[in-house]
Amino acid sequence: MPTLYPRTMVTRTPEVEQVIAQGRLLWPGVSDGMVLVRLAQRALEAPRRSALMPMIRGGRPITTEEVGQILADDLY
């Protein structure tokens, strides 16, 4: 399919196949390429989600907004 953007080739090693298989559990019916893109996007978001974990473990009450943000990030 033609595109304006450069493509990146990924060799389907056993490790890559395993990553794609795990991604398919999250996004059934999505193309393998899109699974990899979504997993990459999720990896970029991980530091932000990880920053919320000390709030959970800190012992202070968590607001409804914070819970909503944590859940929204988890479902991404």
Using the 8-state DSSP alphabet, how is residue 34 labeled? Answer: H
Range of the domain at 29: 14-75
59 φψ region: left (φ > 0), alpha (ψ -120 to 50), beta (else): left
How many domains does the chain fold into?
1
pTM over 0.85: no
Provide the 3-class DSSP secondary structure of residue 37: helix
Is residue 32, in this structure, part of any structural domain at all?
yes
pLDDT digits (tens, 9 = 90+) for 2-19: 789 898 899 999 999 999
Is residue 1, in this structure, part of any structural domain at all?
no
Angle in degrees, CA 69, 31, 13, rounded to 5 = 100
Distance set, CA 72 to CA 4, 10, 68 (Å): 31, 30, 6
Look at residue 60 and tell me whether its pLDDT is greater than 90: no
Is residue 7, in this structure, part of any structural domain at all?
no
